[in-house]
Structure 1
Amino acid sequence: MPRKDVERALKAPATGSKVWQVLATLVATGAHFSSGYALGFLSPGIPLLREQHFPDLTTEQEGNLGSLMLLSATLSNPLAAMLADSRIGRKGTCILTAIPFVICFGLNAVFPSSLAAHYVARLLVGLSAGTLTVVCPLYVSEISELSVRGTLNSLVIIMFNSGLFVAYLAGVWVKSFVMLSVGGLISISIFIALCWLIPESPEFLLKHGQKEAAVRSLRWLRGAKVDLQEEMKYMEISQADTEKVESSTLRKIVRVFGTPSLRKAIFIPMVLLFFQQCAGIIAVLSYASSIFSLAGSTLDPNLSTAIIGIIQLVSTFGVTIAVDRLGRRPLLIASSAITALSMATLALYFHLQTNQVDLSSFGLVPLAALIIYISFFSLGIGPVPWVIIGEIFTPEVKTLCTTISSMWVWGLCCIVAKIFPSMVATLGIHWVMWAFSVGCILALICSWFTPETKGKTAAQMQEILSVERIA
């Protein structure tokens, strides 16, 4: 069957059930829930640490706790790519990430008064979080039909945000740092219990010469009554193309940055992710309770943070519907514009507060501004770059480019989380928020020039990028 006929067949509405694809995505990304919990854990965790175990916790130590997870996540990405492409596979690599999670939350629970133990725990949990950032999008993009690929890729972010929300919510009621750590152990235990139920990626199995296993995996994912012949044929064609150009990692890097269409493809998500972090999301997620405390919010800081968490989660559910109906680019543009306005509002509030303007009648403004910021960030500039990453790269370089993108964003997160407490202490919270609002504006400009990937295969995107100017 000619390639174009196969691609047309894949774009036609599928008749099979999507239930098993959704189930496999939810289970595989279950460990990513623990990543979100580990990141959100700091928002209520740092005040509890200071109150119960470290009354003299310094700004530098707080920055270390916020950044060490992100540093090790950056460094883990190359290892993640190697594991995912080895015989261990996508599913096996996801399962391996459970080990550092268990050790991390165990150290937090058993040695709450040891700062060294907390540092080690943050480094370990970062290994798993960084690995999952590479492996989860790979697995999901390889098990999903084209018609629901964007939606299922969005579930990766939903699971992460669910973990964030649960950590924030725990901060409202749990007043013990040890019990907060036990919550992390419970979350990863659920993943360990369920991860054995799902199949390995059919594309991965086919790549390693296990055609019969690939058919069984695809049958599990698509349902017993669906004709798999056309999809298997397309996978075999793609795999044959991949094998023709299979090469070492160094040669792949040279190819990515030496081929105009691939260079544009890696440039798009890296620029989007850069301005995503310039918009301040990691600072908001990691230090939400501290930000509300500085704002003098009329609500309890932990309760305000929990409200932010649920808004973010609900908004991310919204993007699973919108991303395949409205497209990627419109969501990016609308999201960047409204987050810029909301962050500017928050910056203005802090600026007036710093100049001792009476804001007692506007105590809910910080919460309202951050609700709008989180809502629209979660509808576009947050998840959509990761959807694009899952769609824009051809199979032979997808793992490499996903790894590069993941290392890039974790590195940026590490820098922002490390310097945020010091920047607030040195410049004032108002100037930091103004800087974040400028980052949102730059994200808007970048989004305007981002090509649409909705309904297109990676091969089609490469054809478009080979002739389209992006500047």
Structure 2
Amino acid sequence: MSMKNSLRSKKISVDQETVPKNLEPSLQNQIIATIICNLGAFATGAAIGWTSPSIGSLKKSGFLTEAEAAWSGGLFPLGGLASVPLFGYIANTKGRKPAAFLAGIPITIGLALKAWGNTSYWLLIGRFLCGLGGGAATALPPLYIGEISEPRARGLLSCFLMIENSLGLFYAYVLGAILPDIDLLPLTLLPLPIIFLLAFWFMPETPIFRLKRGHEEKAARALAWLRKLPLNSKEVKNELTQLATRLGLRLPLPPLPIKRPRRISRRKPQPIYMRSCSSPDSKKEQNFELEKLKAKAATATAKAKNEKSTMEKFKQLISSEAGRRGLGICFALVTTQTFTGMFAVSTYAVYIFETAGSAVSPNACAILYAIVIILGSICGSLLMDKAGRRMMQISSCLIIFICHLAIGFSLKSVANGEKGGILGWLPLIALPVCVFMFNAGAGNMPFVMLSEVFAAEVQDIANTIIMIFIWLTSFVLIQFFPLCASLIGLHNVFYVFAVVAFWSAVYAYFCLIETKGKTLEDILMELSNEKTKNSTEVFYDNLEKKSKDISQV
């Protein structure tokens, strides 16, 4: 009897080991994919940071005129503006991975032109190409991360864009300060986009794009790797079904993976119609062929349903209240991100510290500035899913408002001839605090919300629209920042930045929704002002409508 009980217990333990239940998805591979995806943002940050230590030296040597120096700053966002529509087209038709090459290749060519170009025109062309790649490099992470991440880690992973962009700035600032010849700086930046291209080659395509193209098996494999779960686990199948339902597709197709039955006989197989239906092998072959035909039909249906034109997706986006409100929120957050002046400060950091008459050398201040950006981005990523989006945006904008007032006061005093004492240290204290809070809240917020407030069907077109707006406003800021500083004074420019920060805090208090820990269905319901039903009822109502549409088709 004891022998039987021991054998039975061994059998039960073996069964429990071979059939795991309630597996918990892991974030490890999602974090790896996010870090590698944002290596393009690292290269972009380094390309932006090249301007700060280089422009002054190039102007002093006579290599650049004042007008060319101004355009070297403005051509970068202009290139980003030009790349976003092309990136959106490639990402929507060919995939998120092929679109990454639009980010890496132009940055590589642009840095090579900066390194070996012997005239200012080659440098300006290289600057434009770096912007062309930078626009794609910053458009890729919100789209890619929004489609691979779980809701519990979406806020954390979305902040990696600013973290790695800040690391790129720091890399360029440090090298610009320690290199004996500033002409060597582009050569040290050149490996960065190449590393990004090589590393991202091994990352999976997003499951949502695979489903849009009707490739359920590839979507399941990508999802299983991202969640670090077995391919045929219940968790992978359930999440795949949820993603397909969100896209209006019907699952499952044939079981994953599909394996052709092994033939016992080595003879050349006869066509199905010539075999006996009573043969077991022929029945297996018939079932396989039938499943294959079903898979082809379902793939064609999925492609036809998801291959909408850009204009159709745009109409779908603006026809819904959730889409319009999502666009309005992102436009407001991008306006804050741009016109609080941090992009201009990153580009002209050394110039600002020189004008302020700081007690510390301008290059050392710029390096300190980059370190604070990194710390702020890391703290923001840790606090985003704890404090909430609204609280982070309001608190960061209020502190930015106070810091900009302090910097404006210091610059005005220096312009009036007052120097020394606290005036030399005030920018060194206020600007790092301002940068820290910006990267902890307002700087990250557009990318976080961009990955959260749009339905999967219109995510790509919304991403394209917002990225165009980001680079358009950045071009206006960078191009006219030196002109405005010379016309009205640098201190008045910072007063304008302070007004924008205060307006953004008021807007966030009254209009910004909280998305922390909410599913996409909950967020869309809140944006649509659907308060009479809970999220589960709305989700199943939409599911029923989509199933009726599919049955009619």
The equivalent residue for 1:450 is: 512
Alignment-mate amino acid for residue 64 of structure 1: W
Q: What secondary structure sits across from 1:197 in the alignment?
A: coil
Q: What secondary structure sits across from 2:204 in the alignment?
A: coil
The equivalent residue for 2:227 is: 222
8 Å CA contact 1:73–1:129 kept in 2: the answer is yes
Q: Do structure 1's residue 35 and structure 2's residue 44 form an aligned pair?
A: yes
Alignment-mate amino acid for residue 185 of structure 1: L
Deviation (angstroms), 1:306: 0.7
Q: Do structure 1's residue 311 and structure 2's residue 363 form an aligned pair?
A: no
Deviation (angstroms), 1:298: 1.2
8 Å CA contact 1:342–1:369 kept in 2: the answer is yes
CA distance in 2, matches of 1:188, 1:134: 15
TM-score scaled to structure 1, two decimals? Answer: 0.92
8 Å CA contact 1:276–1:439 kept in 2: the answer is no
Pick from 474, 477, 497 the counterpart of residue 436 of structure 1.
497
Deviation (angstroms), 1:14: 7.9
Q: Do structure 1's residue 342 and structure 2's residue 342 form an aligned pair?
A: no
Structure 1 residues 286 and 94: alpha-carbon distance in aligned structure 2, compared to 1, 3 A threshold: same
8 Å CA contact 2:333–2:445 kept in 1: the answer is no
CA distance in 1, matches of 2:53, 2:180: 9
CA distance in 2, matches of 1:217, 1:352: 58
Alignment-mate amino acid for residue 421 of structure 1: P
CA distance in 1, matches of 2:338, 2:180: 31
Alignment-mate amino acid for residue 95 of structure 1: F
TM-score scaled to structure 2, two decimals? Answer: 0.79
8 Å CA contact 2:318–2:324 kept in 1: the answer is yes
Alignment-mate amino acid for residue 42 of structure 1: T
Pick from 391, 400, 404 the counterpart of residue 452 of structure 2.
391
CA distance in 2, matches of 1:153, 1:218: 18
Indicate the structure whose relative CO is greater, using CA pairs within 8 Å and at least 6 residues apart: 1
Structure 1 residues 250 and 299: alpha-carbon distance in aligned structure 2, compared to 1, 3 A threshold: same
Pick from 127, 134, 155 the counterpart of residue 132 of structure 2.
127
Deviation (angstroms), 1:57: 2.2
Q: Do structure 1's residue 380 and structure 2's residue 441 form an aligned pair?
A: yes
Deviation (angstroms), 1:360: 3.7
Q: What secondary structure sits across from 2:442 in the alignment?
A: coil
8 Å CA contact 1:62–1:421 kept in 2: the answer is no
Deviation (angstroms), 1:362: 3.4
The equivalent residue for 1:49 is: 58
The equivalent residue for 1:185 is: 190
Matched ranges for 1:79-228 at <5 A: 79-87=86-94, 89-111=95-117, 113-225=118-230, 227-228=235-236
Q: Do structure 1's residue 320 and structure 2's residue 320 form an aligned pair?
A: no
Deviations 1:412-452 (A, max 9, x none): 00001001111111211111111111111111122212011
In structure 2, the gaps of 5 or more residues are: 1-21, 250-301, 532-553
Q: What secondary structure sits across from 2:451 in the alignment?
A: helix
CA distance in 2, matches of 1:130, 1:327: 28
How many aligned residue pairs are there?
Answer: 453
8 Å CA contact 2:357–2:419 kept in 1: the answer is no
8 Å CA contact 2:112–2:190 kept in 1: the answer is yes
Alignment-mate amino acid for residue 239 of structure 1: L
Alignment-mate amino acid for residue 36 of structure 2: V
CA distance in 1, matches of 2:483, 2:382: 39
Deviation (angstroms), 1:397: 0.8
Matched ranges for 1:237-276 at <5 A: 237-240=245-248, 247-276=308-337
Structure 1 residues 265 and 293: alpha-carbon distance in aligned structure 2, compared to 1, 3 A threshold: same
CA distance in 2, matches of 1:264, 1:76: 26
The equivalent residue for 1:74 is: 81
Deviation (angstroms), 1:457: 2.5
8 Å CA contact 2:373–2:436 kept in 1: the answer is yes
Q: What secondary structure sits across from 2:354 in the alignment?
A: helix
The equivalent residue for 1:5 is: none
8 Å CA contact 1:43–1:285 kept in 2: the answer is yes
Deviation (angstroms), 1:118: 1.3
CA distance in 1, matches of 2:200, 2:322: 37
CA distance in 2, matches of 1:434, 1:142: 39
Q: What secondary structure sits across from 1:228 in the alignment?
A: helix
8 Å CA contact 2:104–2:137 kept in 1: the answer is no
8 Å CA contact 1:69–1:126 kept in 2: the answer is yes
Deviations 1:2-46 (A, max 9, x none): xxxxxxxxxxx9822211110111111111111111111101111
Deviation (angstroms), 1:145: 1.1
Identity, % of aligned positions: 30
Deviations 1:360-406 (A, max 9, x none): 44322111111011000001100012100100000111111111111
CA distance in 1, matches of 2:312, 2:105: 33
In structure 1, the gaps of 5 or more residues are: 1-12
The equivalent residue for 2:525 is: 463
Q: Decide which structure has the larger Cα Rg and report it.
A: 2
Q: What secondary structure sits across from 2:417 in the alignment?
A: coil
CA distance in 2, matches of 1:169, 1:14: 45
Deviation (angstroms), 1:73: 0.6
Alignment-mate amino acid for residue 84 of structure 2: N
8 Å CA contact 1:77–1:406 kept in 2: the answer is yes
Root mean square deviation, CA, Å: 1.9
CA distance in 1, matches of 2:514, 2:153: 16
CA distance in 1, matches of 2:403, 2:530: 33
Alignment-mate amino acid for residue 443 of structure 1: S
CA distance in 1, matches of 2:410, 2:62: 33
Alignment-mate amino acid for residue 393 of structure 1: F
Alignment-mate amino acid for residue 461 of structure 1: I
Deviations 1:309-329 (A, max 9, x none): 011011101111111111111
8 Å CA contact 2:357–2:414 kept in 1: the answer is no
Deviations 1:45-69 (A, max 9, x none): 1122223452x621x3222110111
8 Å CA contact 2:100–2:197 kept in 1: the answer is no
